[in-house]
Structures are given as structure tokens and as C-alpha cells.
């Protein structure tokens, strides 16, 4: 890091949070971007230090009973990172890899992402090391109910508003919200987002992260005189974000030729068959091999390679953190990739980002590119607060406007600080200054 004050703040974060590699990585990336800000505004130094310390961290036991009557124990987390702009807002992740360092990296990123949306939401994240894979419906329900039996006392529509993330979709949100309602005896719709349409959900929330990412890339392409039309696109993952990114790319005239899950990736030169993919992944909760088997000739599965070896014009990592490494970035550059944008949170390693930058590949960081999900969550909260519900078309237009606004804010901020076309710097600085100004106004709290 160039700035010695920022370097010492970073060293302190590492020393105070040992072993939390992903959190260090997320902090480092933001602090790296803040060098020009720290030079201009020394008054922000104490804010940066406070921003790196969550306002509150909750870790709890989640006991549940599996189908064979065995007691199982998982660990639950909720990190309430920053409430300068609104109630803590951010998803819950259920995945065996979850530990405090993952929840803190996600919560930290969420602060800046949420600020970028321009909507009144603070930053938080939560989850558990529970693995829903292979669990029965009853086991997932009992786990969710036990998790909420502790979480309910910490959340509320004006306090902390969770939503989904990896391993937490509509089914889990239903069980979680249902248990909250039962324990509190309140129909408090605004306490959770990503709800079903029959019980307070918003149109477009399910699609929002994937759609929003593609809207963002559309703007990136436009900024260099291009479009999606006729482009080859690779999307990693096959979950909520990936599926809706694929849908929107196809609507805009591009072709998604590969997608993946943790069992491998599929190449389908004709374009991924979205109907079949959704049937396999969302209805049957199957694997990529099931897609290939049903799709027949033309599609093939690669179970031990990197999806980033598939040549493409646009690459959209939509699975998980650090899935696109230096070697993958080199392969993308070698194959002439024009744009990489993060549908997932922090999927690109710092070394990979350096390779893409060096080669002049346009890069959309997750804080900006995937902000459409949480932005639409904030629209869901607005609808809940006014006991209203908007049409699909109106809500999608709002999402499109928000994504174009974020795109332009990134470029304008990057320009203002002398780093044209650097979306990473633009997103980090614009998000940071918004939160920092609110924190300065509040005094030392």
C-alpha cells in the first residue's frame, strides 16, 4: 500500500483479526483504492479505522435434530457491520465453508455496495456452516427454525434486515420468516427480503442480482461502443445469480456457452438451455451431469478443469469468492475476453485482477455489478413499508435505473480521482465517501 497511514491501519486489521484471510483481502482492496482520498481528506482516517470494526458480531449455537434422530450442532453468525445509512442489510449464507472471516468479508463489502445503491441501507451479513446439500426438506426446515430461534432477537425492520445468499433461497426464507412471525407474534414484512410473492415479496427480487449484473455490463459495453448482441458469454455457477444472468444475456442477444456448479462445468455451444437448467437445478436440485445427460449431444461436462478456459467475450463469475485466479485471468486474456464483471462477491483474486488490469480488460467489481440484488431488497422494504406492491415492469425499470446510476457514479468518481475507467476505484471511493460523510456527521460513535 502506498499510503503509510492506510498501511498501518491495514496492519492493525490483520493483527486484530487473525486467520480471517477473506476479510483481510476485502479490507485491503478497499484501502488500496482509498489512497487518493486519504491524501485529500485526512479527516477520514479515523472513520476508516472505525469502518473496519463491526458495530456488533453475534455468534451462536444452532442445535437441530436430523432425520435419524441425531442431535446436530452448527454455528450461526450475524455480523452487524455498519448502520450509518440505514438498518443493517445483507444476506445469510448457508455453506460448510462459512466461518467468521467469510461473514466479515461479506459484511464489509456490503457496506460499500449498499451505499452505492443510493438507498437507505446499512451493511451486515450472516449465515451458518450448515450444509443444506443432501438434507431432507424436514431437516432444512428444522435447521432454519432453530437458527431463527436465536436470530430473531437481533433483527427487525428498523434494526437488521436479512435476505438470501448462497444456500439460502425462497424455501429457506419461507422457513426463517415463518419462525420469526411465530416467535414475535408480529407480521413484520420488512424484517426480511426475498420473500415469496404471496407473503410480502417483491417482483424481480429473485431475478435482481443476475439481471442487475447484466444491466451493469450492458453499460460497460456501451461505454466502449459495444453491446451484448452476438457476444459469447461464460457464467460460472448455476444458482440464483447465474441463472438470471443467463436469462438476461439471452434476452439481450448474447449467448451463454458455459456454466457450472461445484461438480464441474458444462459447455453448450448452442447456448445454455435455460428451461432445462432451471428444471435440473431449481426443481430437482440436481447436478450439472444431469443437465448434460438430458441435453444430449452438443453439451459436454468437464469435471476437473477451469470454466475460464472456455473462450468468451464476457466473463461473469457468479458462484463464489476467489473462483477466478491468476491462471484463469491469463486464459481469459489469451482468449480475447473484453469484460469481466462480478455477479458473485469477491470471485476474482487480487493477482487475477492485476492480470486483467494489465491487459486492459474492463472489470466490474461485485460491489457495483451485483448491487442489483440488495437494491431490489430495498425496493421490497419500500413496498412493505407502504403496504403496496409494484408490477414486474415498474420494478425492473427501477432496477435498470439504479444499475445505470451505479455505473455512472463509478466512472465519474474514478475520473474525479484521476483514474479513468477504473471501476474498482470508483466503486470503493464512491461507496466509502457516502458512508464516511454520514459517520463524520454522527460524531464519534
Residues that bind ligand 2IT (CB under 6 A): 89-91, 110, 113, 163, 165, 193, 345, 373-374, 377
Q: Do the Cβ atoms of 343 and 368 come closer than 8 Å? A: no
Interface with ligand NDP, residue 238, by CB under 6 A: yes
50 vs 73: CA distance, rounded Å:
33
Q: Closest CB to ligand NDP among 222 and 285?
A: 285
Phi, psi of 269 (to 5 degrees): -60, -25
Q: Closest CB to ligand NDP among 81 and 417?
A: 81
Interface with ligand NDP, residue 399, by CB under 6 A: no
Interface with ligand NDP, residue 239, by CB under 6 A: yes
Interface with ligand NDP, residue 234, by CB under 6 A: no
The alpha-carbon radius of gyration of the chain (Å, integer) is 21
User: Partners of 62 in the beta sheet?
Assistant: 74
239 binds, among ligand NDP, ligand 2IT, none (CB under 5 to 8 A by kind): ligand NDP
344 binds, among ligand NDP, ligand 2IT, none (CB under 5 to 8 A by kind): ligand NDP
To the query of whether residue 195 is one of the catalytic residues in this protein, the response is no
Binding ligand NDP (rule: CB under 6 A), the pick from 27, 34, 52, 166 is 166
Nine cell digits for residue 196: 415469496
193 binds, among ligand 2IT, ligand NDP, none (CB under 5 to 8 A by kind): ligand 2IT
The 8 Å CB, 24+ separation contacts for 352-356 are: 352/324, 352/325, 352/326, 352/328, 353/329, 353/424, 354/326, 355/326, 355/329, 355/330, 356/329, 356/332
Contact set for ligand NDP, span 362-381 (CB under 6 A)? 370, 373
Interface with ligand NDP, residue 240, by CB under 6 A: yes
232 vs 315: CA distance, rounded Å:
9
Nine cell digits for residue 380: 421490497
Q: Return the residue nearest ligand NDP (CB atom).
A: 239
CB-count burial class (<10 Å; 0-12, 13-18, 19+) for 246: buried
Q: Closest CB to ligand 2IT among 232 and 367?
A: 367
Q: Closest CB to ligand NDP among 3 and 290?
A: 290
User: Cell 435505473, residue?
Assistant: 401
192 vs 91: CA distance, rounded Å:
9
150 vs 143: CA distance, rounded Å:
11
320 binds, among ligand NDP, ligand 2IT, none (CB under 5 to 8 A by kind): ligand NDP
Residues 6+ apart with CB under 8 A from 228: 214, 217, 218, 221, 249, 252, 253, 254, 314
Nine cell digits for residue 178: 415463518
Instruction: Report the nearest approach of ligand NDP to the CB of residue 331 (Å).
Output: 17
Q: Closest CB to ligand NDP among 6 and 319?
A: 319
Binding segment toward ligand NDP, per CB under 6 A, in 15-23, 164-172, 215-223, 423-431: 164-172
Binding segment toward ligand NDP, per CB under 6 A, in 33-41, 304-312, 316-324, 436-444: 316-324
User: Cell 441463472, residue?
Assistant: 243
Instruction: Report the nearest approach of ligand NDP to the CB of residue 243 (Å).
Output: 8
Listed residue (62, 221, 86, 73) closest to 147, CA to CA: 62
Q: Return the residue nearest ligand 2IT (CB atom).
A: 91
Instruction: Report the nearest approach of ligand NDP to the CB of residue 108 (Å).
Output: 13
Interface with ligand NDP, residue 167, by CB under 6 A: yes
Q: Encode burial over 336-350: b for 16+ CB neighbours within 10 A, e otherwise.
A: ebbbbbbbbbbbbbe
125, 181, 195, 281: which is the annotated catalytic residue?
Answer: 125
77 vs 20: CA distance, rounded Å:
14
Interface with ligand NDP, residue 343, by CB under 6 A: yes
Q: What angle do CA 328, 333, 336 make, to 5 degrees?
A: 130
Q: Closest CB to ligand NDP among 47 and 204?
A: 204
Phi, psi of 17 (to 5 degrees): -130, 60
Contact set for ligand NDP, span 242-281 (CB under 6 A)? 242, 261-263
Instruction: Report the nearest approach of ligand NDP to the CB of residue 323 (Å).
Output: 6
Q: Which positions are annotated as active-site residues?
A: 125
Contact set with ligand NDP (CB under 6 A): 164-167, 169, 209, 237-242, 261-263, 318-320, 343-345, 370, 373
Amino acid at each position: 500500500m502506498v499510503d503509510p497511514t492506510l498501511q498501518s491501519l491495514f496492519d492493525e486489521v490483520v493483527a486484530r483479526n487473525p486467520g480471517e484471510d477473506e476479510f483481510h483481502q476485502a479490507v485491503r482492496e478497499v484501502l488500496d483504492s482509498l489512497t487518493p482520498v486519504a491524501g485529500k481528506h485526512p479527516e477520514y482516517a479515523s472513520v476508516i479505522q472505525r469502518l473496519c470494526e463491526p458495530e456488533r458480531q453475534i455468534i451462536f449455537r444452532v442445535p437441530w435434530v436430523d432425520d435419524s434422530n441425531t442431535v446436530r450442532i452448527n454455528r450461526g453468525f450475524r455480523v452487524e457491520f455498519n448502520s450509518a445509512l440505514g438498518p443493517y442489510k445483507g444476506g445469510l449464507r448457508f455453506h460448510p465453508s462459512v466461518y467468521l472471516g467469510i461473514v466479515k468479508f461479506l459484511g464489509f463489502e456490503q457496506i460499500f455496495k449498499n451505499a452505492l445503491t443510493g438507498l437507505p441501507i446499512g451493511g451486515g451479513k450472516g449465515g451458518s456452516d450448515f450444509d443444506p446439500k443432501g438434507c431432507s426438506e424436514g431437516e432444512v426446515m428444522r435447521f432454519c427454525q432453530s437458527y431463527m430461534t436465536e436470530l430473531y432477537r437481533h433483527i427487525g425492520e428498523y434494526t437488521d434486515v436479512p435476505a438470501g445468499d448462497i444456500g439460502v433461497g425462497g424455501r429457506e426464507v419461507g422457513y426463517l420468516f415463518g419462525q420469526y412471525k411465530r416467535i414475535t407474534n408480529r407480521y413484520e414484512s420488512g424484517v426480511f427480503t426475498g420473500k415469496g410473492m404471496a407473503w410480502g415479496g417483491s417482483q424481480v427480487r429473485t431475478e435482481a442480482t443476475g439481471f442487475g449484473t447484466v444491466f451493469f455490463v450492458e453499460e460497460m459495453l456501451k461505454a466502449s461502443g459495444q453491446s451484448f448482441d452476438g457476444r459469447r458469454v461464460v457464467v460460472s455457477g448455476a444458482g440464483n445469480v447465474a441463472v438470471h444472468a443467463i436469462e438476461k444475456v439471452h434476452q439481450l442477444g448474447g449467448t451463454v456457452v458455459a456454466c457450472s456448479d461445484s461438480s464441474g462445468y458444462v459447455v453448450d455451444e448452442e447456448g445454455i438451455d435455460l428451461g432445462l437448467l432451471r428444471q435440473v437445478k431449481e426443481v430437482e436440485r440436481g447436478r450439472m451431469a444431469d443437465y448434460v445427460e438430458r441435453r444430449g449431444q452438443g453439451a459436454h461436462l468437464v469435471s476437473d478443469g477451469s470454466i475460464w478456459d472456455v473462450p468468451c467475450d464476457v466473463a461473469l463469475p457468479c458462484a463464489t469468492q476467489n473462483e477466478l485466479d491468476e491462471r484463469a485471468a491469463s486464459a481469459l486474456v489469451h482468449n480475447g475476453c473484453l469484460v469481466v464483471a462480478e455477479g458473485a462477491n469477491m470471485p476474482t483474486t487480487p493477482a487475477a485482477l492485476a492480470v486483467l488490469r494489465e491487459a486492459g480488460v474492463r472489470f466490474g467489481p461485485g460491489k457495483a455489478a451485483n448491487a442489483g440484488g440488495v437494491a431490489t431488497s430495498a425496493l421490497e422494504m419500500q413496498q412493505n413499508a407502504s403496504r403496496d406492491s409494484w408490477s414486474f415492469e415498474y420494478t425492473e425499470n427501477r432496477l435498470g435505473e439504479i444499475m445505470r446510476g451505479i455505473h455512472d457514479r463509478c466512472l465519474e468518481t474514478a475520473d474525479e480521482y484521476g483514474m479513468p475507467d477504473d471501476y474498482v476505484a470508483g466503486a470503493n471511493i464512491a461507496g466509502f465517501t457516502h458512508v464516511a460523510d454520514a459517520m463524520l456527521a454522527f460524531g464519534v460513535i
